[in-house]
Amino acid sequence: MNHLSGSLTMWSRACARLDEAERRQRRFFELLAARSQMPSWEPPVDIFLLGREMLVRVALPGVPAEALEIQLAARGLFVRAVSPLPALVQQARIERLEIPYGRFERLIELPPGRYELLARELRDGCLNVRLRGDWP
């Protein structure tokens, strides 16, 4: 393969990757703009076991406590809400957008067992859910 054809192959791969990145970016903003009930993101979760208690910590920057829906079910712990865009977005030009916004839902699978919801608290951008459980 000569130098020219190798450069063209590398250039075509780079163009294909740029096209894919643009498609993904458009899809991200379509999810933000959509008014559907489909979740558009899942928050990260940490789980800590403390004897027979479990602390589930969910990162939810900017989510108001009154918007949260928490449900303990046989399949696990469901956390749902809508993370609103800041009001100033209407007048601003977005320079960078890394914090997820819009409707989210997360099913947090728990070890098999029976659980009781002890407490829930939204503090410092994290939802802390304490459960008491009977698991192996």
Closest CA to 60 of 92, 26, 103: 103
Return d(Cα 131, Cα 122) in angstroms, integer. 15
Per-residue model confidence as pLDDT tens digits over 12-52: 787 777 777 776 666 655 555 555 556 578 999 999 999 99
Domain ranges of the chain: 1-33, 45-134
Higher pLDDT, 5 or 84: 84
Q: What is the pTM of this model?
A: 0.68
Return d(Cα 110, Cα 56) in angstroms, integer. 10
Return d(Cα 73, Cα 134) in angstroms, integer. 14
Return d(Cα 29, Cα 101) in angstroms, integer. 10
Q: 70 pairs with which residues across the strands?
A: 79
Per-residue model confidence as pLDDT tens digits over 57-100: 999 999 999 999 999 998 899 999 999 888 888 888 888 888 88
Return d(Cα 104, Cα 60) in angstroms, integer. 10
- Position 9 scores a pLDDT of 79
| Residues with Cβ within 8 Å of residue 20, at least 6 apart in sequence | none
Contacts 24+ apart (CB under 8 A), 81-89: 85/32, 86/62
- Position 86 scores a pLDDT of 86
**Under CATH, what is the fold of the domain 45-134?**
Immunoglobulin-like (2.60.40)
Per-residue model confidence as pLDDT tens digits over 96-130: 888 888 899 999 999 888 999 999 999 999 999 99
Return d(Cα 118, Cα 51) in angstroms, integer. 14
